[in-house]
Amino acid sequence: MAKRILITGHNGYIGSVMAPHLAAAGYDVVGMDTGFFGECSLVPELGLVGTIKKDIRDLNARDLEGFNAVVHLAALSNDPIGNLNDGWTEEINFKATMKLAELAKAAGVDRFLFSSSCIMYGASSTADVTEDSPLDPKTEYARSKVKAEHALVKMADKNFSPIYIRNGTIYGVSPRMRFDTVLNDLVGRAATTGKVTVFSDGKPWRPVMHVQDVARYFQLYLEAPKEKIHNQAFNSGANDLNHQIIELAQIAVATVPGAKLEMQPQPGADQRTYKADFGKFARTFPDFKFKWNVRTGAQELYEAYKKAGITHADFVDKKFTRLKWLHYLLDSGRLDGSLRWKTN
C-alpha cells in the first residue's frame, strides 16, 4: 500500500511542486494549508492532491491519524514577514510546529521532515558553514527555525524521527510563484525592465537550488534508512550550487536578450552572506544528482515569464511577493489581526 503522507503548506511555492511530485512517485498525499496564496497562481497546477483547508494553529489529534510521515512546509516563509509581526512567526513557525509534531508523534507518525533554512547560520561569516557551525539567527524567521529544530530534537525517540532539512534559497517555476527569492527576482527584473541593478558589492554568497530538485531531495529523506537520517540536520544542496550575487545577476542578464547589469553599491545594502558546505548531504546520498543549475534554471524562468506575459506591473504586483500579499489580505479585511481568515 502507498505510504500516506501529510504535507503542510502544500499550496505554497515549494509545496505546489512537491505535492504532485510525491503523488507521482507513488505516495498517497494529503495536503493541509490555510491557503494564504491560493489566488497567487502563475502557471497551471502540476497535479491535484487531497486537501484539508486548515490553519495549522488549529490542529486536533484526528488530523494526524493514519499518516506514515509528515512533510512540514507551512510557515511564514521569510524574514520580512517575520518583521511584520513577530508574534505570528512565533505562533505559526514555532508553536504550531511543535503542536503538529506532538500530535504526529502521538498518532504514530514515524518520520517528520522539517523544512528549515541555512539562514540560521547568520549572515556574516565568510567560512563555509557545516551542520556543526554555530547558529546565529538574526531575524524572527531564522530564530523560529532554530527554536523549532531545538525543540524537535528533544522529541526524537525510537519511534519518531524528526529531520531538519536546511535549505538554501530556492528558485524555479512553481504554480504558486514567488518573485521574492533571489534568482526568481533577478531574472524577473531582467525580463521586465531590461536591467538588473545590484545594490551590494555583489560579493555575498547564496546557496541556490531549483524547486524541483528540492522536491526530489525531500523524497530522499522520506525513503532513507532511519539510521542515516534520524534526528539529524542536513544542509541540503551541493557545493557547486553556492553562488555570489554578482554571478547570479550576470547569469540573469545573460539569459535575457539585451538586458544590462548595473552596479550601484550603497551603504546599508543587503550584505547577508552565507556559503554552505554540503559535504554531509553528498556523503549521505552519494547517488543523488541535482538536475538543475543556475543557467538552466534562469532559462526556465525567462521562458515561463515570457509565456505568462509577465509585465513589470505584474512583476511588482502584490500577488507574487509574500509580504505584499499578506498586507493586502490584512488591509482588505480578509485576514483578521491574528492572521486568520475572517470568513469561510
Name which position in 23, 42, 92, 186 contacts ligand NAD (CB under 6 A): 92
Closer CB to ligand NAD, residue 260 or residue 291? 291
Closer CB to ligand NAD, residue 79 or residue 259? 79
Name which position in 74, 248, 256, 298 contacts ligand NAD (CB under 6 A): 74
| Per-residue contact string for residues 297-336; x = within reach of ligand NAD by CB under 6 A | -------------------------x--------------
Distance in angstroms (rounded) separating the CA atoms of residues 268 and 286: 41
Closer CB to ligand NAD, residue 259 or residue 278? 278
Distance in angstroms (rounded) separating the CA atoms of residues 115 and 110: 16
- Closest distance to ligand NAD from the beta carbon of 127 (Å): 20
184 binds ligand NAD (CB under 6 A): no
Write the CB contacts of 44 (distance below 8 Å, at least 6 apart in sequence): 175
The residue count of the chain comes to 344
Write the CB contacts of 271 (distance below 8 Å, at least 6 apart in sequence): 123, 124, 200, 201, 204
- Closest distance to ligand NAD from the beta carbon of 267 (Å): 27
Name which position in 5, 6, 11, 49 contacts ligand NAD (CB under 6 A): 11
Q: For residue 163, what are the β-bridge partners?
A: 113
Burial 312-328 (b: 16+ CB within 10 A, else e): eebbbbebbbbbbbbee
Name which position in 42, 77, 113, 305 contacts ligand NAD (CB under 6 A): 77
Closer CB to ligand NAD, residue 12 or residue 305? 12
Name which position in 6, 7, 15, 274 contacts ligand NAD (CB under 6 A): 15
215 binds ligand NAD (CB under 6 A): no
Closer CB to ligand NAD, residue 143 or residue 259? 143
99 binds ligand NAD (CB under 6 A): no
Name which position in 5, 19, 37, 323 contacts ligand NAD (CB under 6 A): 37
Per-residue cell: 8: 503542510
- Closest distance to ligand NAD from the beta carbon of 215 (Å): 11
Size of the site for ligand NAD (CB under 6 A): 30
Name which position in 5, 6, 7, 13 contacts ligand NAD (CB under 6 A): 13
73 binds ligand NAD (CB under 6 A): yes
Question: Helix H segments across 126-197?
Answer: 140-155, 182-193
Q: Is 19 helix (H, G, I), strand (E, B) or coil?
A: helix
Distance in angstroms (rounded) separating the CA atoms of residues 318 and 311: 13
Distance of CA 113 to CAs 12, 116, 218, 225, Å? Answer: 16, 9, 8, 14
Closer CB to ligand NAD, residue 235 or residue 250? 235
Distance in angstroms (rounded) separating the CA atoms of residues 125 and 78: 20
Listing DSSP states for 247-293 in one string gives: HHHHHHHHHSTT-EEEE---TT-------B--HHHHHH-TT------
- Closest distance to ligand NAD from the beta carbon of 281 (Å): 15
Site residues, ligand NAD (CB under 6 A) = 9, 11-15, 33-37, 55-57, 73-77, 92, 96, 115, 117, 167, 169-170, 176, 178, 181, 322
